[in-house]
């Protein structure tokens, strides 16, 4: 069984993330979407909320996906779950430099786990969770950038911050 893992903070999940999920899920028998519990990063949504949004977004049309959260080193989690490869989405050259360094470190720590890079689809190549939050904070239209279920949660969270 080929198991892939798509790790990230997903704060919040965007349509770009879901595009990568759909494409990556066709490359493996099972795709684990792994929401990182980042202690160094201040998240807008709690880990459980991010997991919940991803489950809701994937439940209708992607059958081979499991959404989880994890702590610690990704490669340790990969070994525990017998993951074959890590999926990373790339939007631009700047993403590649950062992701390349992480892939090399992961390969050093877990030589048996590959990293697969998927280029963002053109329509999502500029979308990031950070930009979505900024546009939403000014009440801009984010309807083409995030799944419908994210919009009310995001607007409620930003209005109460």
pLDDT in tens, 11-46: 999 999 999 999 999 999 999 999 998 766 788 999
Whether 132 is in a domain gets the answer no
Whether 21 is in a domain gets the answer yes
Among residues 50, 88, 129, 133, which one is catalytic?
A: 129
Distance CA 65, CA 29 (A): 9
CATH number, domain at 57?
3.40.50.620
On average, the pLDDT of the chain sits at 93
Q: How many domains does the chain have?
A: 1
Q: Is-catalytic flag, 17?
A: yes
Residue 59: pLDDT band (50, 70, 90) is confident
What average pLDDT score do residues 133-155 get?
94
Is the pTM of the predicted complex or chain greater than 0.85?
yes
Among residues 41, 42, 108, 144, which one is catalytic?
A: 41
Whether 153 is in a domain gets the answer no
pLDDT of residue 102: 96
pLDDT of residue 39: 62
Whether 13 is in a domain gets the answer yes
Number of neighbours of residue 55 by Cβ within 10 angstroms: 13
Distance CA 159, CA 60 (A): 29
Which residue range forms the structural domain that includes residue 103?
3-125
Whether 136 is in a domain gets the answer no
Q: Is the pLDDT of residue 156 over 60?
A: yes
Among residues 22, 91, 107, 157, which one is catalytic?
A: 91
């Amino acid at each position: 069984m080929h198991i892939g893992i798509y790790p990230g903070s997903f704060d919040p999940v965007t349509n770009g993330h879901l595009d990568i999920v759909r494409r990556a899920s066709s490359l493996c028998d099972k795709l684990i979407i792994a929401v990182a519990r980042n202690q160094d990063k201040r998240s807008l949504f709690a880990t459980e909320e991010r997991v919940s949004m991803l489950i809701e977004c994937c439940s209708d049309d992607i059958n081979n996906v499991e959404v989880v959260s994890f702590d610690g080193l990704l490669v340790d989690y990969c070994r525990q779950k017998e993951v074959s490869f890590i999926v990373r989405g790339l939007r631009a050259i700047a993403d590649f430099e950062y992701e390349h360094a992480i892939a090399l470190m992961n390969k050093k720590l877990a030589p048996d786990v590959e990293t697969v890079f998927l280029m963002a689809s053109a329509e999502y190549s500029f979308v990031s969770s950070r930009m979505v939050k900024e546009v939403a904070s000014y009440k801009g239209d984010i309807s083409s950038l995030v799944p419908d279920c994210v919009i009310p949660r995001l607007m409620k969270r930003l209005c109460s911050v």
